[in-house]
A and B are shown apart, each in its own frame.
Chain A
Amino acid sequence: MTRGIARTVVLVVMLVFVGREASAQTGSTPSIRWVEIDLGGGFLSGAPLGTVDANLRANERTAQPYRMFTADHRFERSRQFHARARRLFGERWGVEGGVTIGHPVLRADVSADVEGAPGLAISETVDQYFFDAAVVMAFEELSLGRLVPFATGGAGYLRQLHEGQTVIEHGQLFQAGAGVRYPFVSRAAGLVRTAGLRGDVRGYVLRGGVSVDARPRPHMAISGGVFVGF
């Protein structure tokens, strides 16, 4: 887990470094080197976390599991909120970093009890934080009026706290997505350079954190928000 976090940090640093290089390459357009603040919210899809059996050792000479019951785990769909800061280095490139906060329900469906106990669903609510950094690429040439499409991709750190907030689980996240920006204000001078709406769809792959089978798990997220550029 520690090594995984270290890799993520290296990746984030590299993204920032790449961003600075892009800045140098687009230094001829200083008028759009602004910082944007983006606040918003959306939904993160649910995802299966894996099925695990509560096994005893069977009374056989070769090692055989003997299932007492089984539990199928998943995260339910959840609302989430984000705050991001974005640094643009021209019309095309930028980097962004931020935090996304959600409270997904971790659900376990218990079934197949060896003594016939009826199945049931049990759950807890997890506090979930994404800390991530990403490269943003805008496609001005594909704009429809003020609507400007963009793509983004990056990585980050996943932090999940179980109920009671005494147990923390760590992991990594990788994300890629696309969306559109709709600026209401866009000007070359003044405190507020730009302001508008932004919406995107992202695919996440989470690794580590709460899981029962250690496999990476995909989520989809849809979010929207307002941005203000300074």
Chain B
Amino acid sequence: MKRWLCAAMAVLVFAQPLDAYLQFSVMRAGQTRALKWQRIPVRWHAADRGAAGVSASEFQATMARAFGTWEAVPTASIAFQFAGFSGAEPFDDDGVSVLGFQDQPDMERVLGATGFLVDTVTGDIVEADIFFNSAFPWSTSAAGDPNRFDLESVAVHEIGHFLGLGHSALGETEVRPEGGRRVLASGAVMFPISFGRGVTHDRTLQPDDIAGVSDLYPDGDFRSQTGIARGRVTRNGGGVLGAHVVAFNPERGELVGGFTLNNDGEFEIAGLQPGPHIIRVEPLDDADVESFFSARNPIDLGFLVTFFNRLFIAPSGGQGETVTVAVRPK
């Protein structure tokens, strides 16, 4: 078992990508509504049992740090409150958000998952639960344990889902001879495939994660102080669905990604720091397409990596020039 997938399970809702960073959403009467919490602070409970090598109190402390990581994003207004230990199981539809271990040996590639109970009219998240698969070895060591997965890193990822974020495609992988993929590198905590054992980098959010949560829960000046890249990805004149579009800010070294989300090949990346950006378009071939889009979407993977032929200037508030990138087939 060499491959580990951090899956987001959107239960009881029809989920489809809404925007950059793949926010979860619900469709109602033709209207798309992003899944998000309306009642802040968000109360959460920790399951009152641990797993091998992780006590219940260590688990709770680790979750608190992971929530704190998202809470500390200065451009997002989100807050959490630990409501106590609970004997309830994650994924009980009881209106109480519970995080805890569950033994799921049959889910041999799933380190953890998040499920929601939502109001399908408003898109409000009513409950979100996270389970961590205790079939895997876990560590809460500050320095990481080379033989165990870092609980805090995976928790930061799952809490991104808990907030309503989907997966980011900012990463590079290689196919393993025995099947599955191995991560070579990633540019977002919300990349769907976890780092290996002992790697603790995902305790820290990356610019793509920060842009995503700030777009979903914007704090005061976020929209007026960051810019939006909008445009199209085309192939032979038609739109490309599911292309991964990345904006790189060379002055800050930051990468923020988005996707083309309809058959016209339109994309939008919000939360870009003002200034020049290099826009790169690639096929969604570094993870299972199902990690990002539902299987019924015909995602085009048959084109070459292509750069926008100009520097894109993100304004301070609002949208920059419209970007059109014409890709060529492989």
Contacts and interface: CB of A to CB of B under 8 A. Distances in A.
Given A59-B185, A163-B313, A167-B313, A54 B255 contact: yes
Interface in B171-202: 171-172, 182-187, 195-196, 198-201
Give the 6 A-B CB pairs with smallest separation, nearest first.
A66-B185, A56-B185, A117-B305, A166-B315, A124-B311, A56-B187
Interface string B262-306: 000000000000111010101000000000000000000000111
A56 B255 contact: yes
B172 A114 contact: yes
Interface of B: 144, 146, 170-172, 182-187, 195-196, 198-201, 206, 246, 248, 250-251, 253, 255, 274-276, 278, 280, 282, 304-311, 313-316, 318, 320-321
Contact of B321 (A73, A164, A210): A164
A162 B146 contact: no
Contact of A162 (B185, B187, B275): B275
Given A52-B253, A59-B183, A166-B313, 11 more contacts: A56-B187, A57-B187, A57-B201, A61-B146, A115-B305, A122-B278, A122-B309, A123-B311, A162-B313, A169-B275, A210-B251
A71 interface: yes
Given A56-B186, A57-B186, A120-B307, A162 B199 contact: no
- Max chain A C-beta neighbours (<10 A), residue from B146, B185, B282: B185
A115 B284 CA distance: 12
Given A56-B170, A57-B185, A117-B306, A110 B278 contact: yes
27 contacts: A54-B250, A56-B172, A56-B185, A56-B186, A56-B187, A56-B255, A57-B185, A59-B182, A59-B184, A61-B198, A61-B199, A66-B172, A68-B255, A68-B280, A106-B276, A110-B307, A114-B172, A120-B307, A120-B309, A122-B307, A122-B308, A123-B311, A164-B320, A166-B274, A166-B316, A167-B275, A167-B314
A78 interface: no
A55 B253 contact: yes
A13 to B, nearest CB: 30
B293 to A, nearest CB: 20
Nearest to B304: A117
B307 A57 contact: no
Contact of A113 (B170, B201, B206, B305): B305
Contacts of A123: 310-311
A164 to B, nearest CB: 5
Contacts of B309: 120, 122
A52 B278 CA distance: 12
A116 B146 CA distance: 33
A59 B282 contact: no
Contact of B250 (A57, A108, A162): A108
Contact of A122 (B195, B200, B305, B311): B311
Contacts of B198: 61
Nearest to B201: A57
Contacts of A61: 144, 146, 198-200
Contacts of A56: 170-172, 185-187, 255
Contacts of B183: 59
A110 B305 CA distance: 13
B313 A124 contact: yes
A111 to B, nearest CB: 10
A52 B206 CA distance: 17
B49 to A, nearest CB: 29
A206 to B, nearest CB: 15
Interface string A45-61: 00000001111111111
A63 B315 CA distance: 32
Given A59-B182, A162-B313, A124 B172 contact: no
Nearest to A55: B253
A194 interface: no
Nearest to B251: A212
A124 B184 contact: no
Given A167-B316, A211-B251, A59 B196 contact: yes
A123 B183 CA distance: 33
Contacts of B201: 57, 63
Interface string A108-145: 10100111110010111000000000000000000000
A28 to B, nearest CB: 53
A74 B97 CA distance: 52
A110 B304 CA distance: 16
